[in-house]
Amino acid sequence: MANTYPRIDLTRGTGPQGHRARMRARVLNTGASTLADYEILEMLLFAGVPRKDTKPLAKGLIGHFGSLVEVFRAPTQALRAAGLKDDAIRVLRLPGVAAERLASSEQRERPTLGNWDQLVTYLDQALEGGISGQLRLLYLDNRNRLLADETAPDADTPTERNRAIAIRALALHATALIGFYVRPTERPADLSQAARQLDFAMRPLSITLHDVLITGEGPPSSMRQGGLL
């Protein structure tokens, strides 16, 4: 009869390799957000310190430099003086680079529209494909970062349209709106009335209508600055 051998469960092993397997399983099962700062550093050091328990090293580095972020920011010579080899130091350079690139990508994808110059710069690009008569809506988060740029929903009445805008804003977790008309044909008084109705509809939801702009051949004009909103 052939010998059979039980499958080895590495997650129950002892020593550094068994501990590393348990840490990796924990991240997969419960998410990396459950890790303490020293555990994040400990796992990063797996790649630079292949056959050693990295928990004491991670705790020692955070204790020496003061925080996880300060470990990432520490000069190479300081990390060497703390006992790290070059392979481990190279690993610790990656999170900072990744964070910068993520932030840069987010800024490109979600521009901040917190002042007039930023808004006008954005509209210069947005209006290139704009269709005359459109009402476009910019949905913003609590930092005035753009969540979505969309044409106002079609509806039979202003009330129905404002309700649809409110539903969309809530779905996006928007806290503010900016509207802009693309070369409108309506009278300013009619545009003003529609803007005031939208403003009124958003208030119970704590969604701020920053402004509604009218665009034409020249620079956009602000209905709020013009006293129309």
Return the residue matching tokens 């202003």.
158
Q: Which two tokens stand for residue 12?
A: 């129950």
Answer yes or no: is 229 within a domain.
no
What is the Cα 15 distance to its own chain's centre? 39
Integer-rounded Cα radius of gyration of the chain: 28
| Average pLDDT for 150-178 | 92
More confident residue, 137 or 35: 137
Query: What is the distance between the alpha carbons of residues 162 and 204, in angstroms, rounded to a whole number?
Result: 12
- Report percent pLDDT > 70 for the chain: 86
Q: Which two tokens stand for residue 110?
A: 């979600």
Answer yes or no: is 5 within a domain.
no
Query: What is the distance between the alpha carbons of residues 32 and 36, in angstroms, rounded to a whole number?
Result: 9
pLDDT at 16: 61
Answer yes or no: is 31 within a domain.
yes
Assign 4 a pLDDT band (cuts: 50, 70, 90): very low
Return the residue matching tokens 């309700």.
163
Distances (CA, A) of 78 to 58, 59, 63, 174: 15, 16, 14, 44
On whether both 51 and 148 belong to a single domain, the answer is no
Considering its fold, how many domains does the chain have in total? 2
User: What's the domain range around 84?
Assistant: 10-109
| Average pLDDT for 139-158 | 90
| Average pLDDT for 150-170 | 91
Query: What is the distance between the alpha carbons of residues 191 and 178, in angstroms, rounded to a whole number?
Result: 14
Answer yes or no: is 227 within a domain.
no
| Average pLDDT for 169-186 | 90
| Average pLDDT for 5-14 | 38
On whether both 14 and 50 belong to a single domain, the answer is yes
More confident residue, 8 or 45: 45
Last residue within a domain, chosen from 85, 109, 133 = 109
Assign 12 a pLDDT band (cuts: 50, 70, 90): very low
pLDDT at 127: 74
CB 108 within 8 A of CB 146: no
Last residue within a domain, chosen from 109, 138, 162 = 109
Count of alpha carbons within 13 angstroms of residue 77, beta-carbon side: 0
On whether both 68 and 140 belong to a single domain, the answer is no
Report the largest interatomic distance among the alpha carbons of the chain, rounded to a whole angstrom: 94
pLDDT at 172: 92
pLDDT tens, position by position, 84-131: 888 888 888 888 777 766 655 555 567 888 888 888 888 887 776 667
On the 0-12 / 13-18 / 19+ scale of CB atoms within 10 A, 212 is buried
pLDDT at 6: 41
pLDDT tens, position by position, 30-42: 887 788 888 888 8
How does the average pLDDT of the chain come out, rounded? 82
The order of strands in the sheet holding 176-182 is 146-151, 135-140, 176-182, 208-215, 221-222
Return the residue matching tokens 């300060």.
70
**Count of C-beta atoms within a 10 Å radius of residue 121:** 12
On whether both 91 and 185 belong to a single domain, the answer is no
Distances (CA, A) of 115 to 84, 143, 179, 211: 46, 11, 14, 11
Count of alpha carbons within 13 angstroms of residue 133, beta-carbon side: 3
Identify the DSSP state of 109.
H
| Average pLDDT for 199-221 | 89
pLDDT at 101: 67
Answer yes or no: is 52 within a domain.
yes
pLDDT at 5: 37
